[in-house]
Amino acid sequence: MSEKRLRQAIDTLKESGVRITPQRHAVLEYLLTSMVHPTADEIYKALESKFPNMSVATVYNNLRVLREVGLVRELTYGDASSRFDCNTSEHYHIICNECGKIVDFQYPSLHEVESLAEQVTGFDVSHHRLEIYGTCEDCKHVATAKH
Q: What's the pLDDT score for residue 34?
A: 82
Q: Residue positions in the annotated binding site?
A: 96, 99, 128, 136, 139
pTM: 0.71
Q: Residue positions in the annotated binding site for Zn(2+)?
A: 96, 99, 136, 139
Q: What's the pLDDT score for residue 67?
A: 92
Mean pLDDT by 10 residues, the chain (147 residues): 81 91 93 86 94 93 93 79 80 85 80 88 88 90 79
Q: Residue positions in the annotated binding site for Fe cation?
A: 128
Q: What is the 3-state secondary structure (H, E, C) of the chain?
A: CCHHHHHHHHHHHHHCCCCCCHHHHHHHHHHHHCCCCCEHHHHHHHHCCCCCCCCHHHHHHHHHHHHHHCCCEEECCCCCCCEEECCCCCCEEEEECCCCCEEEECCHHHHHHHHHHHHHHCCCCCCCCCEEEECCHHHHHHHHHHC
Q: What's the pLDDT score for residue 147?
A: 66
Give the number of residues written for the chain: 147
Instruction: Name, in order, each residue with C-beta under 8 angstroms of 98's C-beta and a sequence gap of 6 or more.
Output: 135, 136, 139, 142, 143
Domains of the chain: 3-85 (1.10.10.10), 92-146 (3.30.1490.190)
